[in-house]
Amino acid sequence: MCGITGWVDWEADLTGQGDILEAMLGTLSRRGPDASGIWLSKHAAIGHRRLVVVDPAGGSQPMTRRRGDKVYTVTYNGELYNTLELRHELEGLGNTFLTRNSDTEVLLMAYIQWGAACVERFNGIYAFAIWDEAEQCLFMARDRLGVKPLFYTRQGGVLVFGSELKALLAHPAVHPVVDAEGLAEIFVMGPSRTPGHGVYRGVFELRPGCCLIYGKNGSRLSRYWSLVSRPHIDDLDVTAARVRELFEDAVERQLVADVPVCAFLSGGLDSSAITAIAAAAFKRENTGLLHSYSIDYAGNERHFRPDLFQPNSDADWSGRVADYLGTSHHVVEIDNYELADALLPAARANDLPGMADIDSSLYLFCREIKKEHTVALSGESADEVFGGYPWFHDRAALRAKSFPWVRLLRERFKFFSPELVSLLQPEKYVEQRYQEALAEVPRLPGEEPFEARMREILYLNITRFMQTLLDRKDRMSMGVGLEVRVPFCDHRLVEYVWNIPWAIKNCDGMAKGILRRALGGMLPGDVLRRTKSPYPKTHNPEYLAAVREMVLDLLDDVNSPLLPLINAGEVRRLAESDGSLFDRPWFGQLMRGPQFLAFLIQVDAWLRTYKVSII
């Protein structure tokens, strides 16, 4: 993985503006710690920061190739998992390659050969920009499920793009201005942003499965991929076999790298399945033991208390699965005070307030893994694709006319200033975004009402909640130079599972029943049947004490930019309580009172660090 950035300007000569491009690249150094490169022409500036994963000698970027008198330059972040197939096809069409096995060169040659239609042939995760010097045209695209990020903004005749918001903000034409809609994305939607919304005024994120062409005559945005609803004709046994086939192929494709590969292992169904396939591949290819990693927190064994949202601890399960699969397993234990201190670097990695300690713990976890490995496989997205979250199985949540993870709006907004509440109109804003999302759902004519509703909920999860977790995984891992791959986001698997009826998805009376059936014989029976337990969080009161102290310090700081936005009295009351004022999550499954306080710490840090102007 890497960091990409650059801009196009029809009014200026950019050949002498390398210093600006270098400054933009400097913000992405953690995404690409191994190398840096720039390419300049009169109207285009293209930059790249590299994390070496495949073809260390041949994959330098920006990469330029010629066809006749035409020159094409690419900056690319991602991995193609069908590189060899594409390369053989391109060679059969008369193309020659200068590198040993660079997927960057394959991607660029695919564009030269097929133009914008090249993206329809890619299996992978990617965000890239290609400049056609002859046509004076920029082509940008993002992978189907949105694993890799790509932001852009237009300021007059200037188009600026980058892997992260901080790269755009390093350009002199882009300013950190936030209006009411941007504030609503932060405070109303929580970490779950509206797809395509960049929070800052005039800044957008290229949506998953979309591409953008920018030339002198303007820009054209188009979608090249979306979910398609069609009848599912396979019976239960055929469906389970097909799910297993697609999943195994996805994992095995994503093991390809010229650097060490490991796996995240919580002991839950999803990560255990990925680890099982990866470990078997390592043994088959005689490449040594697969290393696996799990996370825990200092003192958690004494303080963990099961509840509806987190019914059991991962600690015993991850070790048991590691022993069963024969991996070299490592437990990364997070100190609770360090967890609180990492709230600020996590917010900087994210460029926005995020999921509080759910982010900072992942940041610290990835930082430790990076000491020995460059690539990791992770189980994100299985619950969105197969329907594993509690709200898929809660009648009240299914009847609700809102996103099931956006919780406790009225309770939450008593902690904000009346002026902010009046400006944002939280319930109206959520309703608007919810209706927009429902209008996108690809319907299946004749589908009975319950199946149609489950299709809606699955669509909301795949296009909204899943994006939240993918963004988190990308920013926290790339913030320390670790590439994380997500096999459950293989688009072929997602397309197939999308049309499996709910009764089959939920077969055998269990959430994600079809996945459990597909994985039969791969894992111990109790692991296959284990009730979902979400990403682990700390239960140690040391963390709440540290966060409480930080919030109280902010409340006593008359210069805090947070103060005009909050009801300081209510926030102080929450900070001085035992954290039980939020006895249910206010976002997703995990974020409660302590996480809400930590979220406010991140908001304050964001406003200060980025010198945000609110209009």
- Active-site residue list: 2
Angle at alpha carbon of residue 589, lines to 587 and 595, rounded to 5°: 55
Cβ proximity of 40 and 18 under 8 Å = yes
SS3 of residue 262 by DSSP: strand
SS3 of residue 163 by DSSP: coil
Give the dihedral of Cα atoms 578, 579, 581, 585; nearest 10 deg.
-150
Give Rg (Cα) of the chain. Answer: 24
Cβ proximity of 475 and 350 under 8 Å = yes
The neighbour count for residue 34, using CB atoms within 10 Å, is 15
Give the dihedral of Cα atoms 124, 127, 128, 129; nearest 10 deg.
150
- Helix %, strand %, coil % of the chain (to 5): 45, 20, 35
Residue showing tokens 């398609």: 228
C-alpha closest to that of 474 among 376, 545, 544: 376
Helices (H), 479-614: 491-498, 502-505, 513-518, 525-528, 541-555, 568-576, 593-609
Structure tokens at 603: 């908001």
C-alpha closest to that of 31 among 609, 476, 606: 476
The secondary structure element, H or E, covering residue 142 is strand 137-142
Cβ proximity of 361 and 369 under 8 Å = no
The neighbour count for residue 399, using CB atoms within 10 Å, is 8
How far is it, in rounded angstroms, from Cα 457 to Cα 501?
13
Long-range contacts, stretch 577-586, CB < 8 angstroms, 24+ apart: 578/544, 579/544, 582/408, 582/411, 584/407, 584/408, 585/309, 585/407, 585/408, 586/190, 586/407, 586/408, 586/411, 586/412
Give the dihedral of Cα atoms 462, 467, 472, 474; nearest 10 deg.
100
SS3 readout for 540-568: CHHHHHHHHHHHHHHHCCCCCCCHHHECH
Measured on CA atoms in the order 34, 39, 40, 43, is the torsion positive or negative?
negative
